[in-house]
A and B are shown apart, each in its own frame.
Chain A
Amino acid sequence: MSDIAVRTSELGKRYRDGWALRDCTLEIPAGSVTALVGPNGAGKTTLLHLVIGLSRQTSGTVEVLGLSPRSDAKAVLPRLGFVAQDHPLYRALTIAETFTLGRRLNAQWDEGFARERAGRLGLDLDKKVGKLSGGQQAQVALTMALAKRPDVLVLDEPVASLDPLARREFLNGVLEAVVETGMTVILSSHIVSELERVCDHLITLADSRTQLAGSIREIVAGHRLLTGPRSDAASVARIHDVIRETHTERQTTLLVRANGHVYDSCWEQHEVDLEEIVLAYLGYRPGMRDTSPAREAVPS
């Protein structure tokens, strides 16, 4: 397998009312757990649907495992697992019937794995899906995706609707599968705080564009919060990328992507955590209620 699981180049998708995704160029390393983060309507679902071949791009290219998810669908789709937002399932079917459906619809299906996993989670195979808790339904949906034994698992807002315990259990299931199979995982979320420990790579999307893409460790190591007496950011901006600048009467605070060391001694340097970095890229300014307007969600 190549080292890159997903590669897009200037990928764009336009719907009738405008661009849902623009100029998206990124690489997702094989074996990584990548978080796709952004406000609602930023283009996350659009990007994921292009990756799994559910919709066709307007411009640019997308490759999954070195192949096009649409023109090489026969080769790609069996290797892709997907759990859609709110993990839709047939509520009137039992878990066993749901697995039968999975077996019939997928060329590659590991029934033994599906049943073993359901047993381990204490799920009753004869119970109707509609009678399960939200967390259990999410686990059934995850089991469906994992039983395909995919190389790439795509999860759209997998934990947004779950309570904290169900979230933990769901994410544990995903990470366990990563340890066992080395699969690549891409999951979208609008919650940053939980992702830092679960994911190793991160992509931010806001207003249909990507801002930040890379290894979380490098992203965190590459950013600094500088505080100092009130001044303009010009001298810092000559060397480093100033992501956010805020001023009070006597103090200036800069969040920068540092290009090498910050030597200027009039700035006090602080480490900055992932959540604050992501919020800065998404346009949040401390003390301001109004953040950069996210476009309305595009129907998919």
Chain B
Amino acid sequence: MIEFHLDARSGVPAYLQLVQQVRQAIRLGILRDGDQLPTVKEVVAMLTINPNTVLHAYRQLDLEGLVEGRRGVGTFVAAGPPTSPPVDDLKALRSSLERWVARARAAGLDDEGIRALFAEAVRPETESRVA
């Protein structure tokens, strides 16, 4: 079961934080096919959050094909989430990224500099996808 948390200072709307946390959990294999998401009532009690916000997040995830709502039963992670690469690939990518971070630190970059560089490297692909 996934445990949601909200960062009030992030500036990211609450429903989007929930969406991102489910996406992330699926990507990292914390949530797998057929796992049940917490019910709306459980999320409301967990976070003191408006129920419509939770419904909105779950609808968004349903539209993206990541989860499916089963009437009267609950919301479940959909079969074969398209975004999750095999665990071995993830491990290899992570360790090469860790090596890269170590090199950046050795070159004198601080955390902010590393994030800025990383964001810049990621951006062109994102923008071309939007356009």
Contact = CB atoms under 8 A, between A and B. Distances in A.
B53 interface: yes
Given A171-B48, A172-B48, A196 B14 contact: yes
A54 to B, nearest CB: 27
B44 A197 contact: no
B40 A175 contact: no
B11 interface: yes
A179 to B, nearest CB: 5
Interface residues of B, number: 18
Contact of A175 (B6, B8, B44, B56): B44
Contact of A176 (B8, B41, B47, B52): B41
A171 B50 CA distance: 10
B13 interface: yes
A197 B40 contact: no
Interface in A98-144: none
A179 B6 contact: no
B65 interface: no
Nearest to B51: A179
A180 B41 CA distance: 8
Contact of A197 (B6, B11, B41, B56): B6
A198 B51 CA distance: 8
B50 A217 contact: no
Given A176-B41, A179-B41, A199 B50 contact: yes
A249 B130 CA distance: 37
B11 A271 contact: yes
A200 interface: yes
B50 A176 contact: no
B104 to A, nearest CB: 28
Interface residues of A, number: 21
B50 to A, nearest CB: 5
A270 B13 CA distance: 14
B45 A197 contact: no
B51 A178 contact: yes
B49 interface: yes
B81 to A, nearest CB: 26
A87 B29 CA distance: 48
A136 B46 CA distance: 20
B45 A33 contact: no
A178 B44 CA distance: 10
A101 B44 CA distance: 31
Contacts of B13: 217, 220
B63 to A, nearest CB: 16
A193 B11 CA distance: 12
Nearest to B45: A172
A33 B50 contact: yes
Interface string B5-16: 010100101110
Interface of B: 6, 8, 11, 13-15, 40-41, 44-45, 47-53, 56
Interface of A: 31-33, 168, 171-172, 175-176, 178-180, 193, 196-200, 217, 220, 271, 273
Given A175-B50, A217-B15, 16 more contacts: A31-B52, A175-B48, A175-B49, A178-B51, A179-B41, A179-B51, A196-B8, A197-B8, A197-B49, A197-B53, A198-B48, A198-B50, A199-B50, A200-B50, A217-B13, A217-B56
20 contacts: A31-B52, A32-B52, A171-B48, A172-B44, A176-B45, A179-B40, A179-B41, A179-B51, A180-B41, A196-B8, A197-B6, A197-B8, A197-B14, A197-B47, A197-B48, A198-B50, A199-B50, A217-B13, A217-B56, A271-B11
